[in-house]
Amino acid sequence: MLPGFEDFNTRARGPHGFRIHQPARERDFRTPSGRVEFSLAALPDDVDPGEGRLTLATVRSHDQFNTTIYSNDDRYRGLKGLRTVVFMNENDLRDRGLEEFDLVDITSFLKDGTKRTVHGYRAVRYEVPPGCAAGYMPELNALCGIADYSTQSDQPVTKHLVVEVTPSRAVGPVD
């Protein structure tokens, strides 16, 4: 039995479910000082994606837990019924001759020299920094190649993909 899951079925059916013990929520920090300890990590040396390119990060929607999607609505960002989107700064939209909700293709440039493209996404104006973009995972995970992983964590770099966003030329599967 995992600690904190005793009498799970009864407790889960309560009006508010139950909370699993999380030391940090209770300000119980299991560090040498007993306090929160922050560390610094250097920025990668490739933070400039290059002329006309954007740095893309994948995010989750409101109705999503990890890769489980409970609805196509995202009240965090004011979207309903739509997940195949790329959130872009207003100036980046204009620089590419795009209007909000135009169909676009998104191409990533991978560390091994290859490219991957998804087609038929909607460009959505959103307050992200110029030169940056965001979109939902797992939909945009297809843009991350096998060689694109963090050397610090060995995790896919789906928070730091170099992409180009262009008016859509086709609606179809990933290239």
Walking along the chain (175 residues) 10 residues at a time, the average pLDDT comes out as 83 85 88 91 73 93 87 91 96 96 96 92 96 95 86 79 91 54
Provide the H-helix boundaries in 89-152.
90-95
Contacts of 148 (CB under 8 A, 6+ apart): 110, 111, 156, 157, 161
Query: What tokens appear for 54 in the block?
Result: 């954007």
Q: Note whether 163 and 128 are within 8 A (CB).
A: no
| Reported pTM | 0.74
Distance CA 86, CA 125 (A): 9
